Chain A
Amino acid sequence: AQKITQTQPGMFVQEKEAVTLDCTYDTSDPSYGLFWYKQPSSGEMIFLIYQGSYDQQNATEGRYSLNFQKARKSANLVISASQLGDSAMYFCAMRVNTNAGKSTFGDGTTLTVKP
């Protein structure tokens, strides 16, 4: 069975600073993908960044980067230069090759950016 753990229910960051949201995962499947999604208070789920299990380099998308440490089974999201609009719930998710139809989500981290 797959499991995603997000240990930070809530995080605060000052505007323009960087913040790291933690995510650890567990799977025995060697082929998997890790995703981060953002859910603002309006409710829609927005894809942010993807890391494949065979990717050698950490993924980056604009101000978002994924700190992928395969041996430690962690996939932390780093947001640089935080903006007020980054205040939202953030979910880490995983899909595995042997059960690709089912994404497993963590419980989420609520990020609040302070002016």
Chain B
Amino acid sequence: GAGVSQSPSNKVTEKGKDVELRCDPISGHTALYWYRQRLGQGLEFLIYFQGNSAPDKSGLPSDRFSAERTGESVSTLTIQRTQQEDSAVYLCASSNRGFYGEKLFFGSGTQLSVL
């Protein structure tokens, strides 16, 4: 695709429900990243994929959070038993190979609201 695509753009859910957030990176980009941004704050790293393996998942806040990636394509971030503190914008980004000098290409994010 032309850019990083995320869906849904908005998700409202009830506390305790599971949610799945999807990210479709730029075609050919091997590196994919998930970040969380709470209102008015900076970006909080969650997980990094190189291909379909996750060398760094140190930012996942609890075992309720998990993510997977199919090959060098779509990634899904799953939050189980959602809590109100999970409410945030979840941003996905991709880059060509994961080299430190590469800029990130971001999607438009998924606004998650947990009631």
Beyond A104-B45, A107-B41, A107-B42, whether A47 also contacts B104 by CB under 8 A is yes
- Residues from 52 to 107 in A contacting B, C-beta threshold 8 Å: 52, 91, 93, 95-97, 99-107
- In the complex, how many residues of chain B place their beta carbon closer than 8 angstroms to a beta carbon of chain A? 27
A31 adjacent to chain B (CB < 8 Å): yes
With both beta carbons as reference points, the residue of chain A lying nearest to B55 in the complex is identified as A101
Q: Which residues of A sit under 8 angstroms from B58, Cβ to Cβ?
A: 102
B89 adjacent to chain A (CB < 8 Å): yes
In the complex, A35→B102 CA distance in Å? 9
- A-B contact list, 5 entries, CB within 8 Å: A35-B103, A44-B108, A95-B102, A101-B33, A108-B41
Q: Give the A-binding residues of B (Cβ under 8 A).
A: 31, 33, 35, 41-43, 45, 48, 50, 55-56, 58-59, 89, 91, 93, 98-106, 108-109
